[in-house]
Amino acid sequence: MPALSDAKILFIATDGFEDSELLEPRKRLIEAGAEVVLASLETKEIKGDKGATITPDAKVDTVDIDGYDALLLPGGTKNPDKLRMESNVVDLVRRFVESGKPVGAICHAPWLLAEADVIRGRTVTGWPSVRTDLKNAGADVVDREAVTDGNLVTSRNPDDIPAFTEAFSRLVEKAEAPAETV
C-alpha cells in the first residue's frame, strides 16, 4: 500500500468550522506526508467555532478536482450549513464523489453530501441532528464512529477523529494503489 506522501488532499471549510475536525485530521495527514490544501469561499482568514483561525490556501472557485487525490470536509454547525448554500461548493463535492476519489465528511459535514445528492443508497453516519436529513436524502444511516461505503468515509463527532482519519487515510492509500497486472 503506498504512503500518503504522494497524496494531495483538498479540505473545504469556512467560518464556523469545528476546530478539531479541521485541524487534527489536517495535522495527522501532513505528518503522514500528504500535501494538504485548504480552500474556502475567500482567501481571508477563517475562524473556527471555538476560536481557532487558519488562512485558506485557495478559493473554492479556483479548484480543479483533477489536481487532487481526495477531499475532506470538516464539520461544525455553521461551516457546512453555509457551504451547502454555495452552488460551486455543492458542485465540487458532487464531482469529487462521482469521480470515485475518496471523500471524507465528519459531524455536520455530511449535510454537504446530502445537498450534493450523492448518498442515495449509501451507508453513512453523521451528527445526530443531521441524520434525518441524511435519511431523507436516501442514505442508510448508522451510528458508528467511522463508516466507509465505496469512496465515502463519514463520521459522527470530534471523539471519532482518530477512527475517521484512519479510515480516510486507508481509503486514500487504497485509491493510490496501482492496479495489479496479471
Backbone Cα Rg of the chain: 15
Dist. CA 85–CA 181, nearest whole Å:
44
Pick the catalytic residue: 108, 122, 131, 156? Answer: 108
Q: Is 154 a catalytic residue?
A: no
Within 10 angstroms of residue 166's Cβ, the number of other Cβ atoms is: 15
Count Cβ atoms within 10 A of the Cβ of residue 58 and give its class: 0-12 exposed, 13-18 middle, 19 or more buried.
middle
CA dist 118 and 16 (Å) reads: 24
Residues 6+ apart with CB under 8 A from 132: none
- The residues that are catalytic are 108
